[in-house]
Structures are given as structure tokens and as C-alpha cells.
């Protein structure tokens, strides 16, 4: 359902300054009011400086004219002063601040509008590879993609979660052939459980098959024949392939459950799904002159990017042997998402090493006419996870780090931290909290760093109680809940907008009022860390408020007004943590 939301005070002030500009200087009515939060007053407008240049006036003079032109009659703005070279310092009416708190508290969505209403957003994320174990490399795409899916969903978009599983390709011919030739392999002998052991087995088989493929030309030939059989739909081969895919999906599902991400089996649309669209896709590219023959292969030569040899960068639409690969599939995928899913926006969440690949896919899709200016497309690129020592993340033995092991480690750390702080918790309660906070810590460490940067996976740091961590934020939320329990405040407090407003209350109220603005920015820039940073600042604004403004012992109407602030803080923190994909326990 669409919602217009509560207009943030920042927006109301900006509108008032815009009106003043239009009144004072109608010829510049389009000018940006340049309003932002300020330490000197509630807001500051820097509009006069660039405008003065435009109209040939002294900025101070123009500032004074604008200040006089701001309408104070609707009760939102109490005072406007000119300072320095023409800044406007703008102070809100106390009642307007309290009214906004009341309006947000009364709304299910805390007054956040559905700005993405009706937009179909396809988010390609997670996308682990079948027959391989999910490793630390798939953590970021899963966490970032999940948060974006939640944020866009909350903003009213029709989100399509696309888990582009690597479930197709020549490697499956090799693997199936190997399994068939090795009746002693665990694939035949072991009971296939619901846990991840069968995928570990697959992972080893895969490595063994690869080794044999590289060393034994006879096996390589039989493997190639097997690929052809798979692609031609040979029933036995396809049955074995399905078995392998199903086992892998089960183990991915176990990780998704543990991480608490939104992905379900309905979202699994792997590479194999596009198999029967590949030939048509290539034909269309050739017919429209975008793909050309090159030594028997069909390629798209970039008009924008050149490689190190000064030759155009190449996208392989069809290989010389007639086969299709990763590039071909992504061409068919973008075509399908636009033509059949009617996407308005396409997001691809993968690490930054795939930047060139996606740049080439987008360019080809534009040239062939699938991708138009009406459709937004982004490669949501992210940096690498490093070990605590700042070097590429490896196990002690030098292998890739399994995702489940990492999660176990974080949960164990948090369990120790919480148990120490809270010796009274029962073991069952401790388990639940440790799981929520441990997983939350991992997610928050990822989502609070700027996406494009590399970061170190450091269980000690990410589970600290103080500083910018997930555990700190969850504690902050639990603390507000505990105060509300003590105050006996079960229903939304009634706000008296004529009540007094202390500076710390004012800071907190203005911070709370900014949630929707930050959320829109995070969606716009595809940067969940803006939301994380906001929540951290909010938690600190709450702490300052709580230190200087007693809640439970205050007299009315102050008490109710403060309870309203606590309630809005708890709900904003819970909503924000939820949009980062984190739990917000009521007790910790
Ligand atoms: N399976 C790939 C990998 O593990 C990621 C796929 C990303 N999505 C896409 N449409 N290419 O690297």
C-alpha cells in the first residue's frame, strides 16, 4: 500500500526557504534552498551565497531579504537569523518538533513514505555455485543484497530476489562423469544428509574431477561427451545433475536460514534456467549487428572499453565450439529480466572484480536495445573480506574459509561477551541471544563499512559491546525497551506539543525525524552503511538524552513526552536493524 508519509522537518524548512526565494527573487525561483542541520540553530540555509552571485547582490543583503521573506505564520519555523556572509540560521517552533514526534509515533511506517511505489526492482545476489561450498566470498553479496531487498521492499518497490545460482556449465559434465566412474565415492556410499556434509563431499569430488580432467586426456574426452549429453537432455545425466543441484540447494538453504536472509527456494533462478534462451539471445545480438563472428566464435566487441592490448574488450556470446558460458548467460539474463520480468531497475550485487564483466553486459544490452534510458541498472560492487591480519582471508592451512565456521566463531564470541555481562541469563536464553547477536555482529560489521572498501573479518572487534558494532546497537535497543517496561508504557504515549523541549530532547527528536531521509539516501546510493551510520548516531543521541532527561520520575506532561521519544527511538532502531537484516531483541 502506498503512503505519503510525514514530511520531515528538513523538507518543510527547505520548502519555506524555497518559497522565500520565489517571493524575494521570482526570477531565481528554481534555486536550491541548500538546507541542512546545523550546530548553531536547528537548520541552516546557504542559499544566499550562490544566489547573490547570480543576481548581483551582496550575499548579506540577499540573506537579510530572504530571512524577512520566510513565512513564520504556519507555526513550523519560530525564528530566522542572518549570520556571517549571509547564512540563514533557522530555529523550529518547539510545538512543531513535538507534533512531528507524535505524527511518526502514530504511523505504522513511522511516517516514511513509499517512494519506490510501483517500481519493479530485480536484485541479483548471493548466487553461490552448485557443487561447491559457500565460502566467505559469498557472504557480502548475501548480506548486502538482503539489506537492499528489505530497504526497497519497505519503500514500496516490487522486489524480485534473483539468486543466480551457478548450476550450469561444462564442469557438471566433468563432475557427473567422475562420480559415475567412481562407485566408491562418498556420493554413492554416504547417506545424503540434510546438513552440509554432502556438499563438502561434492566439493572434494569436484576438486578430484578437475585434477583428473587436467591430467588424463581420456577422462577429459569422456567428460566433454557428458556435457553434450547433459545439454541434450539425456535422462540419466540430467537426473544426476538434479540430484547434485538439490543437495547443494539444501546446504545453501541451511546457511540462509542461519543468516536469516529473505532468500527462499522460489528465488533460485540459476544459470540453467536461461539455457533454452541462449540461442535466441545470440541470434538477436547478431541480427541487430551487436555481436559479430570472430574465428568461429560470436563476440560482442566493446565500443567503450579497450583491453591492455588496445583492442576492444570482448564479451563471449558463443564459444568457437558452439558452447555458451558465463557471458552468454548474463546476456540472456538481462534480456529476460527486462522483456519478461519488466524490470524498472536492475541491481547486480557481486564483488568489484566483476566490474568489467557487468560494464560489458550493460553496454551490449544498451546497444541491442533491451536496456533503455527508462531502466536503471547498477553493478553493486563491493570490496574483499580480509583476515584479522589485513591479508586475504584463508584458513591456517591456506584453504578457503567456510562460511558456517565463521558464523560459529562469531556466535561463540558473543555468547562469552553476553554471559559475562548478564550472568543471570538461562542457558537457553543465552543461546538465542548469542545466535541473534552473533549473526547480527557479522552482518553489521559488513554493512557498516562503505561497500566498495575491503574490510577485515575480526570476531573480537565486531562483537565488542562498545563502539560502532551490531551488539552495541542491539543493546541500545534492548535498553530502551527495558526503560519502557519499567515505565509501564504499553501503548503509544500521548504527546503534549505545548510541553517544554530540552536541548537533548530536541537533538533526539530531530535525529528521529531524519530516518526516512537517510533510508531514501541509502536506497539511492545503494549504500546500507548510511543507514548503519544513522542508527549509531541515533543510539548516541538517545544516550545523551537519557543521561540528562529522567523519564520515569518526571512530572506530566514531560514524562509522557519523554516516553514518546523512547517509544519512537525503540521503534526506529528496531525498524532500522530489521532493514539491515538484524534481529532487535527486547532483552539482552
Ligand atoms: N555465481 C557467481 C560467482 O560465484 C556470481 C553470479 C553473479 N550474478 C550474475 N548474474 N552473474 O561468482
Is residue 8 scored above 90 in pLDDT? yes
> 3-state DSSP helix/strand/coil percent for the chain, to nearest 5?
55, 15, 35
Please work out whether the CB of residue 328 comes within 6 Å of at least one atom of ligand 1. no
CA atoms within 13 A on the CB side of 575: 25
Kindly report the backbone phi and psi dihedral angles of residue 134, in degrees, each rounded to the nearest multiple of 5, phi listed first. Answer: -70, 130
Cβ neighbourhood burial of 328 (10 Å; 0-12, 13-18, 19+): buried
- Atom 6 of ligand 1: nearest residue by CA position: 127
Q: Which of 131, 138, 166 to mutate to test the pocket of ligand 1 (most atoms within 8 A of CB)?
A: 166
CA dist 459 and 423 (Å) reads 22
pLDDT digits (tens, 9 = 90+) for 113-158: 999 999 999 999 999 999 888 888 899 999 999 999 999 999 999 9
What pLDDT, on the 0 to 100 scale, is given for residue 197? 62
Is residue 489 scored above 50 in pLDDT? yes
Is residue 209 scored above 60 in pLDDT? yes
Percent of the chain, pLDDT > 70? 98
Looking at per-residue pLDDT, the higher value among 198 and 441 belongs to: 441
- Relative to the CA of 358, which ligand 1 atom is closest? 11
Of 97-106, 189-198, 225-234, 433-442, least confident by mean pLDDT is 189-198
CA dist 501 and 97 (Å) reads 9
Nearest to 210 by CA among 220, 222, 224: 220
Is residue 568 scored above 90 in pLDDT? yes
- Relative to the CA of 351, which ligand 1 atom is closest? 12
- Grid look-up 588424463 returns 216
Q: Boundaries of CATH 3.30.1360.70 in the chain?
A: 9-92
- Relative to the CA of 165, which ligand 1 atom is closest? 1
Q: What is the 361 CA–ligand 1 centroid distance (Å)?
A: 13
pLDDT digits (tens, 9 = 90+) for 391-435: 888 777 777 788 888 899 999 999 998 899 888 989 999 999 999
Q: What is the 79 CA–ligand 1 centroid distance (Å)?
A: 55
pLDDT digits (tens, 9 = 90+) for 256-285: 999 999 999 999 999 999 999 999 999 999
Q: What is the 125 CA–ligand 1 centroid distance (Å)?
A: 8
CA dist 108 and 13 (Å) reads 24
The pTM is what?
Answer: 0.94
Across the range 529-537, mean pLDDT stands at 98
* CA distances in angstroms from 544 to 103, 538, 539, listed in the order given: 23, 10, 9
Instruction: Return the beta strands (E) in 455-587 as ranges.
Output: 455-456
pLDDT digits (tens, 9 = 90+) for 64-94: 999 999 999 989 999 999 998 899 999 999 9
- Grid look-up 512531528 returns 100
Q: How far is CA 63 from the centre of its chain?
A: 41
Quickly state the pLDDT bin for 307 (edges 50, 70, 90): confident
Quickly state the pLDDT bin for 487 (edges 50, 70, 90): very high
Is residue 194 scored above 50 in pLDDT? no
Q: What is the 506 CA–ligand 1 centroid distance (Å)?
A: 47
Q: What is the 385 CA–ligand 1 centroid distance (Å)?
A: 17
**542 Cβ contact partners less than 8 Å away, ≥ 6 residues apart:** 476, 480, 508, 569
Please work out whether the CB of residue 166 comes within 6 Å of at least one atom of ligand 1. yes
The single-letter DSSP state of residue 369 is T
Please work out whether the CB of residue 164 comes within 6 Å of at least one atom of ligand 1. yes
Of 15-29, 192-206, 212-226, 229-243, least confident by mean pLDDT is 192-206
What pLDDT, on the 0 to 100 scale, is given for residue 203? 85
Please work out whether the CB of residue 203 comes within 6 Å of at least one atom of ligand 1. no
For 138, the grid coordinates are 559469498
Task: Dump the DSSP string for 144-173.
Answer: HHHHHHHHHHHTT-EEEEEB--B--SHHHH
For 536, the grid coordinates are 549509531
- Atom 5 of ligand 1: nearest residue by CA position: 127
Q: What is the 271 CA–ligand 1 centroid distance (Å)?
A: 9
Quickly state the pLDDT bin for 383 (edges 50, 70, 90): very high
- Atom 8 of ligand 1: nearest residue by CA position: 164
What pLDDT, on the 0 to 100 scale, is given for residue 183? 83
Please work out whether the CB of residue 581 comes within 6 Å of at least one atom of ligand 1. no
Please work out whether the CB of residue 167 comes within 6 Å of at least one atom of ligand 1. no
pLDDT digits (tens, 9 = 90+) for 323-372: 899 999 999 999 999 999 999 999 999 999 999 999 999 999 999 999 99
CA atoms within 13 A on the CB side of 278: 23
H or E, element range at 299: strand 297-306
Is residue 166 scored above 50 in pLDDT? yes
> How confident is the prediction for the chain on average, in pLDDT?
93
Quickly state the pLDDT bin for 200 (edges 50, 70, 90): confident
List the strands of the sheet with 43-45, edge to edge.
35-37, 43-45, 87-92, 77-83
Q: What is the 309 CA–ligand 1 centroid distance (Å)?
A: 27
Is 3.30.1360.70 the CATH number for 9-92?
yes
* CA distances in angstroms from 207 to 129, 225, 270, 337, 553, listed in the order given: 14, 19, 22, 33, 67
Quickly state the pLDDT bin for 175 (edges 50, 70, 90): very high
Amino acid at each position: 500500500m502506498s503512503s505519503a508519509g510525514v514530511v520531515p522537518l528538513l523538507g518543510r524548512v527547505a520548502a519555506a526557504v524555497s518559497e522565500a526565494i520565489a517571493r524575494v527573487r521570482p526570477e531565481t525561483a528554481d534555486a536550491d534552498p541548500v538546507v541542512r542541520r546545523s550546530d548553531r540553530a536547528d537548520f541552516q540555509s546557504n542559499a544566499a551565497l550562490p544566489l547573490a552571485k547570480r543576481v548581483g547582490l551582496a550575499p548579506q543583503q540577499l540573506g537579510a531579504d530572504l530571512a524577512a521573506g520566510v513565512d513564520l505564520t504556519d507555526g513550523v519555523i519560530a525564528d530566522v537569523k542572518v549570520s556571517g556572509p549571509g547564512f540563514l540560521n533557522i530555529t523550529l517552533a518547539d510545538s512543531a518538533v513535538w507534533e512531528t514526534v507524535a505524527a511518526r509515533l502514530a504511523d505504522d511506517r513511522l511516517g516514511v513514505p513509499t517512494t519506490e511505489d510501483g517500481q519493479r526492482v530485480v536484485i541479483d545476489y548471493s548466487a553461490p555455485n552448485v557443487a561447491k561450498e559457500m565460502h566467505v566470498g559469498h557472504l557480502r553479496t548475501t548480506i548486502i543484497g538482503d539489506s537492499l531487498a528489505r530497504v526497497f521492499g519497505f519503500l514500496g518497490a516490487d522486489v524480485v530476489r534473483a539468486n543466480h545460482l551457478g548450476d550450469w556449465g561444462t564442469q557438471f559434465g566433468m563432475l557427473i562423469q567422475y562420480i559415475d566412474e567412481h562407485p566408491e565415492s562418498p556420493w554413492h556410499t554416504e547417506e545424503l544428509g540434510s546438513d552440509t556434509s554432502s556438499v563438502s563431499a561434492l566439493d572434494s569430488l569436484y576438486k578430484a574431477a578437475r585434477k583428473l580432467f587436467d591430467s588424463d586426456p581420456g577422462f577429459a574426452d569422456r567428460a566433454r561427451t557428458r556435457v553434450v549429453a547433459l545439454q541434450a537432455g539425456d535422462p540419466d545425466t540430467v537426473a544426476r545433475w538434479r540430484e547434485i543441484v538439490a543437495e547443494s540447494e539444501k546446504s545453501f538453504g541451511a546457511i540462509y536460514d542461519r543468516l536469516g536472509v529473505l532468500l527462499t527456494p522460489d528465488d533460485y533462478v540459476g544459470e540453467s534456467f536461461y539455457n533454452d534462451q541462449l540461442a535466441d539471445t545470440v541470434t538477436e545480438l547478431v541480427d541487430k549487428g551487436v555481436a559479430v563472428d570472430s574465428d568461429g566464435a560470436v563476440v560482442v566487441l566493446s565500443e567503450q572499453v579497450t583491453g591492455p592490448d588496445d583492442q576492444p574488450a570482448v564479451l563471449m556470446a558463443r564459444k568457437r565450439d558452439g558452447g555458451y558460458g558465463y557471458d552468454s548467460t548474463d546476456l540472456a539474463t538481462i534480456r529476460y529480466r527486462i522483456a519478461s520480468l519488466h524490470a524498472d531497475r536492475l541491481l547486480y550485487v557481486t564483488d568489484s572484480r566483476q566490474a568489467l564483466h557487468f560494464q560489458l553486459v550493460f553496454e551490449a544490452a544498451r546497444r541491442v536495445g533491451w536496456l533503455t534510458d527508462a531502466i536503471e541498472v547498477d553493478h553493486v560492487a563491493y570490496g574483499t573480506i580480509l583476515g584479522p591480519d589485513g591479508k586475504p582471508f584463508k584458513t591456517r592451512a591456506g584453504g578457503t574459509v567456510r562460511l558456517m565456521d565463521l558464523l560459529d566463531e562469531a556466535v561463540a564470541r558473543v555468547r562469552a561477551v553476553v554471559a559475562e555481562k548478564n550472568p543471570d541469563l538461562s542457558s537457553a536464553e543465552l543461546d538465542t541471544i548469542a545466535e541473534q547477536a552473533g549473526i547480527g555482529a557479522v552482518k553489521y560489521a559488513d554493512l557498516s563499512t562503505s561497500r566498495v572498501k575491503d574490510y577485515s573479518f575480526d570476531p573480537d572487534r565486531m562483537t565488542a559491546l562498545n563502539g560502532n558494532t551490531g551488539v552495541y546497537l542491539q543493546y541500545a535497543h534492548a535498553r530502551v525497551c527495558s526503560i519502557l517496561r519499567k515505565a509501564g508504557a504499553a501503548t503509544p504515549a500521548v504527546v503534549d506539543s505545548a510541553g517544554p523541549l530540552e536541548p537533548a530532547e530536541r537533538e533526539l527528536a530531530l535525529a528521529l525525524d531524519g530516518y526516512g531521509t537517510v533510508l531514501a539516501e541509502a536506497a539511492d546510493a545503494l549504500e546500507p552503511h548510511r543507514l548503519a551510520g544513522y542508527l549509531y548516531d541515533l543510539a548516541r543521541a538517545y544516550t545523551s538524552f537519557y543521561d540528562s532527561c529522567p523519564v520515569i520520575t518526571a512530572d506530566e506532561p514531560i514524562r509522557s513526552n519523554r516516553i514518546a521519544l523512547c517509544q519512537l527511538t525503540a521503534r526506529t532502531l528496531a525498524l532500522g536493524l530489521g532493514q539491515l537484516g538484524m534481529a532487535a531483541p527486547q532483552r539482552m
